[in-house]
């Protein structure tokens, strides 16, 4: 106990300096490298100051939550023993509408259950691997001090349980993930989540807290190609993801699953990045982060537009809602947002505030087909297609959902087009004369002079070759059966044929 008096002395010196710093003392005038002055600068002392002694009181069972939910604040002024029970579950879930993927999960969700403890807590961690799992798994928590972050003590075969204990010495927001070989593959299959270690005094209270985690996914089929999609190791090694997603599936936080808040509320997001490969340029369209606890650490930056979240890292951000509407969460590497799924929505209700913003919802220009309340019709059509009894009606419904955002930005939601700029699809004699023009124009684009209902257009429509064959079939069937067009049906096989034959008047872009 020789250390104690010196510790107290240092603490006293530190608080003395802290007081003088509060009086407006200039940091630059103090000698550098001095422990006491470092603390006065706002250092917390890290793990050296994170041990508040043995756990007190009865053990507490940790409240675990599924994304996008966050457990309630710890609200405790002493260290405790906290028991965490986490199950590894391998299961098939949708990764996009009509697309399934075999995820490996912590707690049955991607990302895994959110864990919340207090700095100084002793965490007794139980990992159980379900009997129907095919793989062994373990867990490396970035909030653990010790080799492997728990991985070496938690290797768990299917049908087995392991247990280890650690003291949470550093406050912060930490990623956890599986670290069983091949590690990249376990992470790519969804094995990651967040653990928040609150500082002793807790975090400032807010009105809404949400849990969002980005990850990149690699399937053998292309983006939105239907059916059960296997993991593609080659694409993973090339760091060329098919999907980049928030919370493990396209649409996990859009439409009727959007995050919600109200004008006047303070919102805090806990955002992690599981990777395994990509760094996220996390941004919320139309909102500025009042504060970002960058890298999940102790200090915040203010007034931030976009914050980098490394693979295997996290950040907390806080903002205040002034104006109602839909705010779009994106990875600002934008093809990931609009062509690989990294898009979510935070919907704020409440009265308009025209002094701050003149109004008008963020529309399909940004959200695309994700502006739809839900895309279930697409999954229903895919399911019916796989069993061979897809009806025209199912195709029309799926096609309508996809048309919104993909085509409606130009041809408008009601198919009327825009005078002199975008020709109408409604009652179009161009379509009536040749119904196969719909899938052909969609896939190959169109340029040069055309006449639609007596009006001449001489413009360019870009090809939409990124759409899958069944998406084109469904959109075309929707157009043919809407707004007085002649009806009929386009099949996936027909689209595949049309894709191979590029016509004379195709536009640039492929």
Could you say which residues in the range 131-170 bind Cu ion, by CB under 5 A?
A: 137
With CB under 5 A as the contact rule, the residue among 86, 139, 173, 178 that binds Cu ion is 178
Residue number, nearest CB to Cu ion: 178
Structure tokens at 172: 């912060």
Binding residue for ligand HEC (CB under 6 A) from 141, 197, 304, 431?
431
457 touches which of Cu ion, ligand HEC, none (CB within 5 to 8 A by kind)? ligand HEC
Query: Does 415 participate in binding ligand HEC (rule CB under 6 A)?
Result: no
| 8 A C-beta contact, residue 255 and residue 375 | yes
Does position 426 bind ligand HEC by CB under 6 A?
no
Total residues found in the chain within this entry: 510
Kindly determine how many residues on this chain lie close enough to bind ligand HEC according to the rule CB under 6 A: 29
320 is in an annotated binding site: no
Does 452 contact ligand HEC by CB under 6 A? yes
Reported as half-sphere exposure (CB side, CA atoms, 13 A), residue 500 has a value of 5
Q: 450, 459 in Cβ contact below 8 A?
A: no
Per-residue 3-state assignment (H helix, E strand, C coil) for 162-198: EEEEEECCCCEEEEEECCCCCHHHHHHCCCEEEEEEE
- Spatial CB neighbours of 234, under 8 Å, sequence gap ≥ 6: none
DSSP, residue by residue, 421-452 = TB---TT-HHHHH-TTHHHHHHHH-EEEEEEE
Q: Which does 180 bind (CB under 5 to 8 A by kind): Cu ion, ligand HEC, none?
A: Cu ion
- Residues with Cβ within 8 Å of residue 454, at least 6 apart in sequence: none
Vertex 325 angle, CA 320 and 327, to 5°: 70
Q: Are 141 and 197 in contact (CB under 8 A)?
A: no
Query: Contact with ligand HEC (CB under 6 A): which of 275, 344, 423, 435?
Result: 423
214 contributes a contact to Cu ion by CB under 5 A: no
Q: Phi and psi at residue 297, in whole multiples of 5°?
A: -90, -155
* Partner that binds at residue 423, options Cu ion, ligand HEC, none, CB closer than 5 to 8 Å by kind: ligand HEC
H helices of 340-423, in order, are: 364-367, 376-387, 392-406, 408-411
Instruction: Say whether residue 428 binds ligand HEC (CB under 6 A).
Output: yes
Residues 6 or more apart in contact with residue 11 via CB below 8 angstroms: none
What's the N-to-C CA distance of the chain in angstroms?
74
Interface with ligand HEC, residue 366, by CB under 6 A: no
Q: Which of residues 372-411 bind ligand HEC (CB under 6 A)?
A: 406-407, 409-411
Closest approach, Cβ 185 to Cu ion, in A, equals: 8
| 311, 276 contact by CB (below 8 A) | yes
* Per-residue contact flags (x/-) with ligand HEC for residues 464 to 493, judged by CB under 6 A: x----------x---x--------------
From the list Cu ion, ligand HEC, none, partner contacted by residue 178 (C-beta under 5 to 8 A by kind): Cu ion
Q: How far is the CB of 225 from ligand HEC (least distance, A)?
A: 17
Backbone angles phi, psi at 483, to 5 degrees: 50, 40
**Measured from the CB atom, is 29 or 433 closer to ligand HEC?**
433
The answer to the question of whether 142 is labelled as a binding residue is yes
Q: Interface with Cu ion by CB under 5 A: which residues?
A: 137, 178, 180, 186, 191
Q: Interface with ligand HEC by CB under 6 A: which residues?
A: 406-407, 409-411, 422-425, 428, 430-431, 437-438, 441-442, 446-448, 450, 452, 457-459, 461-462, 464, 475, 479
Binding residues for Cu cation: 137, 142, 177-178, 186, 191, 332
């Amino acid at each position: 106990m020789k250390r104690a008096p010196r510790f107290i002395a240092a603490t006293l010196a530190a608080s003395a300096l802290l007081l003088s710093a509060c009086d407006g003392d200039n940091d630059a005038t103090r000698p550098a490298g001095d422990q006491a002055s470092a603390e006065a600068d706002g250092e917390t002392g890290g793990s050296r100051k994170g041990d508040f002694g043995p756990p007190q009181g009865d053990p507490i069972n940790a409240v675990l939550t599924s994304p996008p939910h966050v457990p309630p604040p710890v609200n405790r002024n002493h260290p405790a023993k906290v028991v965490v029970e986490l199950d590894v579950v391998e299961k098939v879930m949708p990764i996009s509408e009509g697309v399934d993927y075999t995820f490996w999960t912590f707690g049955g969700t991607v990302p895994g259950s959110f864990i919340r403890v207090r700095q100084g807590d002793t965490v007794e961690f139980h990992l159980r691997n379900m009997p129907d799992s095919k793989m062994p798994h373990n867990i490396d928590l970035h909030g653990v001090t010790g080799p492997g972050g728990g991985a070496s003590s938690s290797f768990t075969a299917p049908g087995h349980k392991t247990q280890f204990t650690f003291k949470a010495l550093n406050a912060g927001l930490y990623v956890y993930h599986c670290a069983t070989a091949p590690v990249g593959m376990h992470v790519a299959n969804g094995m990651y989540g967040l653990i928040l270690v609150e500082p002793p005094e807790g975090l400032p209270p807010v009105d809404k807290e949400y849990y969002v985690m980005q990850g990149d996914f690699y399937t053998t089929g292309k983006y939105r190609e239907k059916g059960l999609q296997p993991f593609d190791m080659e694409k993973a090694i090339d760091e060329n993801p098919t999907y980049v997603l928030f919370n493990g599936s396209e649409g996990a936080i859009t439409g009727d699953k959007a995050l919600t808040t109200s004008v006047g509320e303070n919102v805090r997001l806990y955002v992690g990045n599981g990777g395994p490969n990509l760094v996220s340029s996390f941004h919320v369209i139309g909102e500025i982060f009042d504060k970002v606890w960058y890298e999940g650490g102790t200090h915040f930056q203010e007034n931030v537009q976009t914050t980098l979240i490394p693979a295997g890292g996290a950040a907390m951000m806080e903002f205040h809602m002034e104006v109602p509407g839909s705010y779009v969460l994106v990875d600002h590497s934008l093809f990931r947002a609009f062509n690989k799924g990294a898009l979510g929505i935070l919907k704020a209700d409440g009265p308009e505030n025209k002094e701050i913003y003149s109004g008008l919802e963020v529309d399909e220009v940004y959200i695309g087909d994700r502006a739809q309340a839900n895309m279930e019709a697409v999954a229903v059509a895919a399911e019916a297609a796989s069993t061979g009894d897809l009806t025209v009606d199912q195709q029309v419904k799926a096609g309508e959902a996809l048309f919104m955002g993909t085509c409606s930005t130009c041809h408008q939601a009601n198919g009327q087009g825009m005078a002199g700029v975008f020709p109408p699809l409604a009652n179009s004699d161009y379509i009536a004369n040749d119904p196969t023009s719909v899938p052909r124009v969609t896939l190959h684009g169109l340029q040069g002079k055309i006449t639609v209902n007596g009006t001449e257009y001489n413009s360019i429509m870009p090809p939409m070759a990124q759409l899958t064959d069944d998406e084109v079939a469904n959109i075309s069937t929707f157009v043919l059966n809407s707004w007085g067009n002649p009806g009929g049906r386009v099949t996936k096989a027909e689209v595949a044929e049309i894709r191979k034959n590029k016509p004379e008047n195709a536009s640039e872009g492929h």
